[in-house]
Structure 1
């Protein structure tokens, strides 16, 4: 797809088919959505029926492409545009310089001016004959579909300027308009290149949800070896080749490659990538597992329930593809205005030419008047109105620690009514911390911390790692250990070199190992995780770990409430930690939604007053980030969240969310101003150029002035922020 006009042309041709009730082409993702008419219910709509219609417009129609194919396509388009823009810049610069010398009267000799006019034309040829080809091709396609767009105007304006200029040169005049053709092509190539690069970047969200290429240890029977009670062996196979119901083995620390369920012994699994739970879980046999989660315990054996391409992670990618297929309201308005303006300008230009000839205006002058109409009508300012304001707003937001990856999201950001947050890693640092502890009076802190550091050394459990960080703060003492064993779901046993035996884990596990627990404060911390430490049959301490809110979380939420936003806390974590954090930062009980899966988060977001804004940090938030009106990834977000979000925070805390909303409201205001001004300009300018003769030079200058005014108005965003 080359432009939004091409998308409108494809839509128009398909909607004329009797079996098609509605067709919509999403230009950024090059995706076609079709709804069949009642008459097509029996036979259905097939790819073979639609493809020839689209092929006649110069496009090919196929099944939705993979992200790898889309990357290759957009990289090819980017190189294609960059080459043409380079040619337009190098040769167009000399065309503009020669024309400027003529316009400014810097040359005293008429003969030299005439030579400069030829020089201007010569340097414009590579631009017109090479750089402008994409516009001519797109213009021809839209004409064939009877949906002429801006490309038709650009093509006619370019060739009109060239033909008129050649006619003037033939008459010996140096007042040529090659610079008009060069400027039209150069400005629009810049816009198309930026648009293509933005679409390319948007595909990375789907890449982040894709598992890397990997091999899977798959059980095969009948090879004469004993394993799990059957004759067979483990054999490495590509993930895509593993069938349903196959038995696979996942090593400690590896990512689960496919969906399935635990088959033999209990598994110790980090579910945070898909659920956001802050603490790993011990899953008994028969429990469902999903690709993307991580095995933290011993090698687990699981039975595959979904093959590659059908896993939960794959379905989330497809849902993200659907949610990304959206246009901003103002961009749709600009597209519709440009679509209406283009055929109107063609009719007016033809009418101007005919009327001028009928009233006795010389043919060359009549052509100049018609060319002026085309140049004035070219909706360059309309095309720049929204992107320039978005770019200025993006630069302003960057200075405030907010990266706006999708400039079109400013339109939605400014209209947001609901703001929802994930818990872990968004309103909290994302790692557990020691909230409080209870220590046996017989042991000092100087002796306790080295023992705790030794008990947690080299453990991969998040709670043990948090205790290790706490133990190492202010103490560099370390005790070497002889053996260490981690029992998933229960605790960790460590034997030191001096023979001391340490037990770190739940109270029940310590009791089972003959340690009498003396802590009486268990009920006082129902929302925090409790970990106890024992040594040689004696209880030493109890630690209570939880997630503390970020310092600016409460102030940010209070500010959002004052500005009239509805706020919510949506998390996959347990109800206790979610409600405790919600109370700490100022959420009401009815605004907290614990235990939500990624799909449930997306459904809940769609049920809130829209547009919605969602702040997340992990794979489990990727679908919510895509389904929300605007997705925001916090500073420490994972790849899936960063690439799936339209906005990223590059400073710690949640204050950037309020900053983004404030800047977006100002940006949208400038967008509206630019759009209204450019529309008024085109309307008034068309009226003037029809009523009185305006040379193409003045039309070009007016077009530049309108584009410049739109640019300066957008620049006010940055100036005001600097002044503030």
Structure 2
């Protein structure tokens, strides 16, 4: 397939098969998703139907093969555009000289007319080939669209021009054919390059094909990850990205944020299962037994499910497509009726063919084709000025109709870093003393909570006055350090303190702060202090959520974190408790998102959010998002916080108003022009100029969006 028309043609043909319930073809990944009875969805039945259209079915291709195919198609279009521009330039120059009467004699004009035709033939025969092929296939699928009109307009212009040249006339229309092809090739190439970015999200989900350390024949060997199968034992180095699913044979710290969205690493014990894409944070090597090799890992299943979500979403059915759906058959009917009608009214064959050609040229919905993309580009330019990068300008139309907005928690609504929310200490201990002791107790620790305490204690006490002589640490529970002055300090969880037989007074724990991460501190005298740490919301979270709620969007937070932390954050940013969903896996996030009123918008930053970004109608990645989230999103915020989401929704609504206006102007033009060209003689050149004028009006109207001041707040649902 070379364009979305191909995808629509395949969809249209397969939807007419008996027993087929639903069909969707995703152009960027060339994926067909079909559901129906077993008899209707047999590969042999589907393949034969698709083959009759000129396409073929194959196995689901790897992402790397899809990239190669799409790059080849981009080069295919680029080459044709270069040929069309190079040869078409000389055709247009020759036509201008003839129309302007700048040539000295009729004989010279005739020679220049032949030159114009000669230069147009590479454009018509080579550059325009994709349109003829797509037009024929859409006709076979009974879904004629713009490609059919373009093909007939080009072929008609060439045949009429050749006939006129043969009779010695210089009123040729090769420039009409060239202009149609080059203008539409530019649009198709932009559309193709824009839609190719969908595959990059799948790229970001793929783990690198590295070697892993495997125990074989009583020794550790390095093997390619694809050669490792279930049952083998592998060794994880400190800081290494886990390449395979497996069961741990020892205990260690694992960063599971890629799947759970938890802001803190978790301590796993022997016998627990971990997944590819997590990261081992321990200090010494750890052995695990592989439970799933490449292709069977949870990450691979996520990638497959993401492909299914993409295919089921299908392409956006723009207002322009709906207008062109009835315009194309109407124009064809009028053109075929114009030819015998003109003959009946006494016109000659030449004039009758020119009249019919003018109908086809006038009907070519260039303005309709430009109406939505130009407004989208203007809107995306305005969004960029506001610090929002739109990877797909076509997403603006959907953004204008959003009904539900869902946010991830960690790294999206929060900063992604813990900080001290509250602290309480025994009598006589002030903040300065506590910070001084803490800075020594947590020095050198790699635990995220210890690093957060180090940042807090450094606010007023940046330099250590004591050195650690001895450090004893229990992973995941606590640490004990001896300072150079002989003092002992302990930092850890309440359960660890109990096992160390340290008495905790009643005021050591505050049940009202149970949602926060709790850290106990003790010295030689016993319990010293308790600190409560949380991942704080970004600065504009509450204000942005309030604006969205006031604009009557359904706003929710969907997280893999604990219920207490999610509920606390929801209260801080102004979300009702029932709108906060905790402890959701990536798959559960996507299912929940699809249950919300559509169209849906999802804002997420991590690998665990890529499935939801694909399942949503539009996905947005915040500034600190991972590469996987950025590639899977339609837009990325280039400034901290989530205020850009509110701004983008406001821009989208104004952009959609411009789109509707453009479609109205272009539809009015096509309707009036078709009526005039049937009633009176309009040369094809005038028809082309009229078509250009309608396109210019659409362009100027879209430019108003770029010149206007941006709307920073959405004004309710469209």
TM-score, shorter chain, exceeding 0.5 = yes
**Residue 2 (structure 2) pairs with residue 2 (structure 1):** yes
> What SS does the corresponding residue of 2:197 show, helix, strand or coil?
helix
The question of whether the paired residues in 2 share the 8 Å contact of 1:5 and 1:339 is answered with no
Between 1:564-573 and 1:108-117, the stretch displaced more is 108-117
TM-superposed deviation, 1:356: 2.2
Deviations 1:645-700 (A, max 9, x none): 22211111111111111111112222222223323332332222112111101110
Deviations 1:122-165 (A, max 9, x none): 43233223211222232333344454432232122112222222
The question of whether the paired residues in 2 share the 8 Å contact of 1:516 and 1:537 is answered with no
Distance 1:529 1:22 in 2: 48
The 1:326/1:678 distance shift into structure 2, 3 A limit, reads farther
Q: Find 1:545's aligned residue among 519, 530, 533.
A: 533
Distance 1:102 1:496 in 2: 95
TM-superposed deviation, 1:372: 0.6
Alignment match, 1:226? none
Q: Calculate the aligned-residue CA RMSD, in Å.
A: 2.9
Deviations 1:514-538 (A, max 9, x none): 6566793421532221223445676
The 1:424/1:34 distance shift into structure 2, 3 A limit, reads closer
Deviations 1:362-418 (A, max 9, x none): 222222111111111212222222222211111111111222222232222112122
The 1:176/1:483 distance shift into structure 2, 3 A limit, reads farther
Distance 1:481 1:56 in 2: 78
The 1:33/1:546 distance shift into structure 2, 3 A limit, reads closer
Distance 2:314 2:663 in 1: 14
Alignment match, 2:589? 601
Distance 1:12 1:329 in 2: 13
Distance 1:404 1:719 in 2: 18
Distance 1:3 1:510 in 2: 65
The question of whether the paired residues in 2 share the 8 Å contact of 1:519 and 1:542 is answered with no
> What SS does the corresponding residue of 1:548 show, helix, strand or coil?
strand
Alignment match, 1:437? 423
The 1:446/1:586 distance shift into structure 2, 3 A limit, reads closer
The 1:359/1:78 distance shift into structure 2, 3 A limit, reads same
Distance 1:163 1:85 in 2: 22
> What SS does the corresponding residue of 2:179 show, helix, strand or coil?
helix
Distance 2:313 2:103 in 1: 50
**Residue 548 (structure 2) pairs with residue 560 (structure 1):** yes
The 1:676/1:546 distance shift into structure 2, 3 A limit, reads same
Alignment match, 1:158? 154
TM-superposed deviation, 1:14: 4.1
**Residue 416 (structure 2) pairs with residue 420 (structure 1):** no
The 1:521/1:446 distance shift into structure 2, 3 A limit, reads closer
> What SS does the corresponding residue of 1:268 show, helix, strand or coil?
strand
Alignment match, 2:250? 265
TM-superposed deviation, 1:73: 0.7
The question of whether the paired residues in 1 share the 8 Å contact of 2:650 and 2:711 is answered with no
Alignment of 1:221-300 (within 5 A): 223=217, 232-262=218-248, 264-297=249-282, 298-300=284-286
The question of whether the paired residues in 1 share the 8 Å contact of 2:557 and 2:570 is answered with yes
The question of whether the paired residues in 2 share the 8 Å contact of 1:514 and 1:537 is answered with no
The question of whether the paired residues in 2 share the 8 Å contact of 1:244 and 1:304 is answered with yes
> What SS does the corresponding residue of 1:2 show, helix, strand or coil?
coil
TM-superposed deviation, 1:62: 0.5
Distance 2:461 2:489 in 1: 19
The question of whether the paired residues in 2 share the 8 Å contact of 1:205 and 1:644 is answered with yes
The question of whether the paired residues in 2 share the 8 Å contact of 1:329 and 1:411 is answered with no
Alignment match, 1:215? 211
Between 1:326-335 and 1:539-548, the stretch displaced more is 326-335
Q: Find 1:396's aligned residue among 365, 382, 385.
A: 382
The question of whether the paired residues in 1 share the 8 Å contact of 2:28 and 2:199 is answered with no
The 1:474/1:95 distance shift into structure 2, 3 A limit, reads farther
The question of whether the paired residues in 1 share the 8 Å contact of 2:209 and 2:226 is answered with no
What 5-or-longer segments of structure 2 have no aligned partner? 713-718
Aligned length: 709
> What SS does the corresponding residue of 2:708 show, helix, strand or coil?
helix
**Residue 484 (structure 2) pairs with residue 488 (structure 1):** no
Alignment match, 1:93? 89
Between 1:702-711 and 1:521-530, the stretch displaced more is 521-530
Alignment match, 2:573? 585
Q: Find 1:64's aligned residue among 53, 60, 63.
A: 60
- TM-score norm. by structure 2 comes to 0.91
Between 1:179-188 and 1:276-285, the stretch displaced more is 276-285
**Residue 72 (structure 2) pairs with residue 76 (structure 1):** yes
Distance 1:656 1:664 in 2: 12
Distance 1:496 1:112 in 2: 101
